[in-house]
Chains A and B, each alone.
Chain A
Amino acid sequence: MTQAVATHEQYEADFRKLQESRSSDPGWLKDLRNAAFGRFQEIGFPVARKGNELWKYTDVRPLAAETFPQPAGVPASVDAAQVFPFDDGMARVAFVDGRFSQELSTPLPDGLVAMSLAQAYTEHSDDVQRHLSQHAPYADEGFTALNTAFLADGAFVLSEGAVQTPLHIVYVTTGRVVTHPRTLIVGRPTSELSVVESYVSATGGKHFTNSVTEVALEEGAQVTHRRLLIENQEAYHVATTRVHQSRDSVYRSLVYEAGGGLVRNDLTVLLDAEGAEAHLKGLYVTAGKQHVDNNVNIDHAKPHGYSRLYYKGIVDEQSKAVFGGLVLVRPGADKTDAYQEDKNLILSHEAEVDSKPALEIYADDVKAGHGATAGAIADEALFYMQSRGIDPEQAMLFLVRGFVSEILDSVTIEPLREWLVERTTQALPRFREAA
């Protein structure tokens, strides 16, 4: 408890410092930071263990009790080919320890605006003010409140028309620090955009990433959003993604997690107008002592919405995977068609999977459902392959690759897909040794 107080004091000192150092920021931004920090001081981190349904299976007390310094000084230099070798053919906006890196960023294709938020406050003041902190409310979310309190730099993306080149937004952490990456993606009406948002560690050792991403899809916009978490195995990673969909917009998401020590990924998609469509896929691969919690809410607020969620997990060694899914169909959201599914492959006797795929339905003319499975690789399948002369390890690898292909096949950027398939098996020590 005293530790938690100490961390709060640290956050407060850092917050004061930030407000002073960024005195030239617009007034509304400083006010926003102030209000958010005030709220954070009131609610803190969601550490309660009793009656805390949203955090039932994930205990963030270790994270709350630890202090991490703010990044200071000149960021270490980062070797792109080493740290994120998967963005061939993409445009890139890079951040190192939370700060925009011109050096690691590339020129952008036509129709695409992607820049540091710090720059966007003045250059795209209208869009930023219209969307920033409008979709990710912090009133009841300690982590979002903290991120908003430390809002300084981050990524601002605006798409107009059909952008062919995928954009890579990468957040690299180089040491034992806390960062609060903030991303705002705005899809203009009928625009098309493909974004890869990735989180990587340049080194080993603990650090804390507390990210918030807001995605606003205006009428008829299509955004494909792939979020990759490949930080080191000790990192604390709390991610909050809030998506707002307007009429006839299509949001496609892939959440890929093969990294982090204690991970919580919160994704909420609000289908706030008729005809909105969301396709959410996820793949989590855990081993060692990793704890990965995905909490996905699909909020159908208007009629004729369509959503499909498909998450898969492979859970090995002493790791623990949590899936919490909620399909909410609000009163009046008739003709909603929603389905979610979570499938888990458990590879070890010490691993644990907790899955809670819930439905909350307040409209009668709907189709909604969910499915969940958990289990091991079927012995029959292994035997079948062995009987054809394939050794058990190889057979296992085949089956695991087959299991993940349903998710990864949706990745249309070929080099990325190949890298992810490879990365998935490398995330499981049993295959690392075999290879």
Chain B
Amino acid sequence: MVAEKKPPVISRTSEVESEYKWGFVTDIEMDMAPKGLNEDIVRLISRKKNEPEWMTESRLKAFRYWMTLEYKEPRWAKISFPPIDYQDAYYYAAPKSQEAAPESLDDVDPELIEAFNKLGIPLEEQKKMTGVAVDAIFDSVSVATTFQKQLEEAGVIFCPISEAIEKHPELVRKYMGSVVPYTDNFFATLNAAVFSDGTFCYVPPGVKCPMELMTYFRINAEGTGQFERTLIIADKGSYVSYLEGCTAPMRKTNQLHAAVVELIALDDAEIKYSTLQNWYPGDKDGNGGVYNFVTKRGKCAGRNSKISWTQVETGSAITWKYPSVILQGDNSVGEFYSVALVNNYQQADTGTKMIHLGKNTKSTIIAKGISAGKAQGTYRGLVRIMPGAENARNFTRCDSLLIGSECGAHTVPYIEVRNPTAHLEHEATTSRVSDEQLFYLMQRGINEEDAQYMIINGFCKTVFNELPFEFAMEASQLLKVSLEGAVG
């Protein structure tokens, strides 16, 4: 089977109401696999990526298992969506110019560099963000990774996962699927079969990664699914802070995004993983937007290890994700900080799972949900204390803010305790911006809209504080843009 050539995509942004400023389409010639999903397509993806036999086999195994699931997605979450035709999507889309992996940035199509410039992610040497190494992924492939040399000097491997499969097969084979097995859930299985690109990161023992690592995901082509795979390993005593951002053009049809992220922290290691999720949310009437079905899980495999998830979710028509931590090592720590904002017709069912296995393990969950317009937001979180987890601790706080009378905010915690030495506390509140607070700010001369933003921003502050500084600013901006028209 040969990949068919597709004419360049023509921008249709003008047809759609423009409020989502990342909604532009890059006009670039694409190399697409034919529509649909079967073993040939899986093999084609693997071949396109020059993968070794074991990887192809691993994909096929996942695909065959996926076929037994009979296209039945999990439907227990508080989200509703029409049946997805998995045969009516492209599972591989790459900029034509990237067919031969570029040796340096000079080989990268200037259109692509410009696209990332427009997104605020400059890739050229002289414009690079300071202190942040970026892996830029455009549809199914990695376009460029900055600061690779500096990172190499520190011993940190930071590269597209396709490159890692080729150059570091021993690490990939050891860890990929070790936290999220291919049988985990419908979307994880699909991802294991057709994942396109993603980021791989390995921090060797004792190394504190000298800069923030970032992956920027961009869906561009129409009718494609995006299935990236991220694998981060922090070896003993190491530290890494990783950030991902994502956007997509405005399209009238829904796009499927089903990523898998696996984190592994060995003894005394720490991983901080931050997400600014800003996929296209659809228009005001609920047309279009990304279906974001993501499986993210970290394993605190070693003693005294720590994994911290921070997410700011403002985009996507539907968000279904539960970044989780398996607290296996004694004294390990899991954290989940989340702001999930839904407006118009967006739906989000998001939260976390903290599975306590080791002794003296500790987890903290701070979730802030904001619902506006006609949107539905749900926090769903599991805290499970297994029999061996002596002296486990959990603190959970979920607050929801409602803006307007047509939206919904829901909290569904699951607390499962099988050890009497555990100590768990869970608190949740749902309210709207209080009239007292609004009056106080307005009495000081601040207009109602700004007053609302100040209060909402304050509501999210404990979560924003967990983000690297520049991204905290960005997150706050995102919040404001996403709420436009909802307050005031």
**Chain A–chain B contact at Cβ < 8 A:** yes
Binds A, one of B21-29, B262-270, B404-412: B404-412
Are the CB atoms of B410 and A360 closer together than 8 Å? yes
How close is B479's CB to chain A, nearest CB, in angstroms? 18
- Bound-state CA distance A353–B427 (Å) is 17
Are the CB atoms of A358 and B418 closer together than 8 Å? no
Are the CB atoms of A366 and B431 closer together than 8 Å? yes
What mask results when residues 297 to 340 of chain A are scored 1 for a CB within 8 Å of chain B, else 0?
A: 00000000000000000000000000000000001101000000
A369 is an interface residue with CB less than 8 A from chain B: yes
- Bound-state CA distance A369–B429 (Å) is 4
A42 is an interface residue with CB less than 8 A from chain B: no
B143 is an interface residue with CB less than 8 A from chain A: no
B400 contacts across to A, CB distance below 8 A: 359, 361
B406 contacts across to A, CB distance below 8 A: 331
Are the CB atoms of A374 and B424 closer together than 8 Å? yes
Are the CB atoms of A373 and B419 closer together than 8 Å? no
Are the CB atoms of A371 and B427 closer together than 8 Å? yes
B408 contacts across to A, CB distance below 8 A: 360-362
A351 contacts across to B, CB distance below 8 A: 418, 420
Are the CB atoms of A356 and B405 closer together than 8 Å? no
What mask results when residues 333 to 371 of chain A are scored 1 for a CB within 8 Å of chain B, else 0?
A: 010000000001011111111111111111111111111
- Bound-state CA distance A370–B396 (Å) is 11
B416 (CB) vs chain A CBs: closest residue: A354
Are the CB atoms of B76 and A51 closer together than 8 Å? yes
A376 is an interface residue with CB less than 8 A from chain B: yes
- Bound-state CA distance A355–B407 (Å) is 26
B42 contacts across to A, CB distance below 8 A: none
Are the CB atoms of B420 and A347 closer together than 8 Å? yes
B427 (CB) vs chain A CBs: closest residue: A371
A346 contacts across to B, CB distance below 8 A: 417, 419-420, 422
A368 contacts across to B, CB distance below 8 A: 429-431
Are the CB atoms of A375 and B424 closer together than 8 Å? yes
357-404 of chain A: CB within 8 A of chain B: 357-376
Contact of B415 among A334, A359, A363, A372 (CB under 8 A): A372
A347 (CB) vs chain B CBs: closest residue: B420
Also in contact, A331 and B418, with CB within 8 A (given A358-B413, A372-B413): no
- Bound-state CA distance A167–B200 (Å) is 70
What mask results when residues 57 to 70 of chain B are scored 1 for a CB within 8 Å of chain A, else 0?
A: 00000000000000
How close is B436's CB to chain A, nearest CB, in angstroms? 13
A369 (CB) vs chain B CBs: closest residue: B429
What mask results when residues 428 to 459 of chain B are scored 1 for a CB within 8 Å of chain A, else 0?
A: 11111000000000000000000000000000
B405 contacts across to A, CB distance below 8 A: 331-332, 334, 363-365
- Bound-state CA distance A172–B318 (Å) is 52
A53 is an interface residue with CB less than 8 A from chain B: yes
A356 contacts across to B, CB distance below 8 A: 412-415
What mask results when residues 327 to 353 of chain B are scored 1 for a CB within 8 Å of chain A, else 0?
A: 000000000000000000000000000
B421 is an interface residue with CB less than 8 A from chain A: yes
User: How many pairs of residues, A versus B, come closer than 8 Å at their CB atoms?
Assistant: 118
How close is B220's CB to chain A, nearest CB, in angstroms? 36
B286 is an interface residue with CB less than 8 A from chain A: no
Contact of B426 among A362, A367, A373 (CB under 8 A): A373
Are the CB atoms of B420 and A364 closer together than 8 Å? no
- Sorting the interface of chain B by its residue count into under 10, 10 to 19, 20 to 34 or 35 or more gives 35 or more
B387 is an interface residue with CB less than 8 A from chain A: yes
- Bound-state CA distance A361–B427 (Å) is 16
Contact of A374 among B411, B415, B427, B430 (CB under 8 A): B415
Also in contact, A359 and B411, with CB within 8 A (given A334-B405, A367-B431, A371-B427): yes
What mask results when residues 388 to 402 of chain B are scored 1 for a CB within 8 Å of chain A, else 0?
A: 000000000000101
- Bound-state CA distance A355–B417 (Å) is 9
Are the CB atoms of A344 and B412 closer together than 8 Å? no
How close is A317's CB to chain B, nearest CB, in angstroms? 11
B425 is an interface residue with CB less than 8 A from chain A: yes
Are the CB atoms of A369 and B430 closer together than 8 Å? yes
A345 (CB) vs chain B CBs: closest residue: B420
A51 contacts across to B, CB distance below 8 A: 75-76
- Bound-state CA distance A368–B408 (Å) is 13
How close is B111's CB to chain A, nearest CB, in angstroms? 45
Are the CB atoms of A349 and B410 closer together than 8 Å? no
Are the CB atoms of B402 and A361 closer together than 8 Å? yes
Are the CB atoms of B411 and A376 closer together than 8 Å? no
How close is A375's CB to chain B, nearest CB, in angstroms? 4
Are the CB atoms of A369 and B409 closer together than 8 Å? no
How close is A382's CB to chain B, nearest CB, in angstroms? 13
How close is A430's CB to chain B, nearest CB, in angstroms? 13
46-61 of chain A: CB within 8 A of chain B: 51, 53
Are the CB atoms of A364 and B402 closer together than 8 Å? yes
A376 (CB) vs chain B CBs: closest residue: B420
A329 (CB) vs chain B CBs: closest residue: B430
66-80 of chain B: CB within 8 A of chain A: 75-76
- Bound-state CA distance A334–B407 (Å) is 13
Contact of B387 among A349, A369, A372 (CB under 8 A): A349
A361 contacts across to B, CB distance below 8 A: 400, 402, 408-410, 430
B390 (CB) vs chain A CBs: closest residue: A349
Are the CB atoms of A372 and B426 closer together than 8 Å? yes
How close is B253's CB to chain A, nearest CB, in angstroms? 29
Are the CB atoms of B420 and A354 closer together than 8 Å? no
- Bound-state CA distance A316–B403 (Å) is 44
Are the CB atoms of A352 and B427 closer together than 8 Å? no
- Bound-state CA distance A374–B417 (Å) is 8
B384 (CB) vs chain A CBs: closest residue: A354
72-112 of chain A: CB within 8 A of chain B: none
- Bound-state CA distance A289–B135 (Å) is 55
- Bound-state CA distance A354–B419 (Å) is 12
Contact of A364 among B411, B416, B424, B432 (CB under 8 A): B432
B420 contacts across to A, CB distance below 8 A: 346-349, 351, 375-376
Contact of A371 among B409, B410, B417, B428 (CB under 8 A): B428
- Bound-state CA distance A360–B402 (Å) is 12
A321 (CB) vs chain B CBs: closest residue: B417
Contact of B411 among A334, A349, A363, A370 (CB under 8 A): A370
Also in contact, A354 and B414, with CB within 8 A (given A349-B420, A360-B408, A362-B408): yes
A328 (CB) vs chain B CBs: closest residue: B410
How close is B185's CB to chain A, nearest CB, in angstroms? 13
B387 contacts across to A, CB distance below 8 A: 349-350
B167 is an interface residue with CB less than 8 A from chain A: no
- Bound-state CA distance A44–B474 (Å) is 54
How close is A287's CB to chain B, nearest CB, in angstroms? 13
Are the CB atoms of B415 and A355 closer together than 8 Å? yes
B423 is an interface residue with CB less than 8 A from chain A: yes
How close is A342's CB to chain B, nearest CB, in angstroms? 9
B410 contacts across to A, CB distance below 8 A: 358-361
How close is B465's CB to chain A, nearest CB, in angstroms? 23
Are the CB atoms of B428 and A375 closer together than 8 Å? no
Additional A-B contact list (9), CB under 8 Å, known A354-B414, A355-B414: A334-B405, A357-B428, A358-B412, A359-B428, A363-B402, A364-B404, A366-B431, A373-B426, A374-B423
**A residues engaging B (CB < 8 A)?**
51, 53, 331-332, 334, 344, 346-376
14 CB-based A-B contacts, threshold 8 Å: A331-B405, A334-B405, A348-B420, A349-B420, A350-B387, A355-B426, A360-B410, A361-B430, A364-B404, A364-B405, A374-B415, A374-B422, A374-B423, A375-B421
Query: What 10 pairs between A and B have smallest CB-CB spacing?
Result: A364-B402, A346-B420, A375-B423, A369-B429, A359-B411, A372-B426, A355-B415, A368-B430, A376-B420, A358-B412
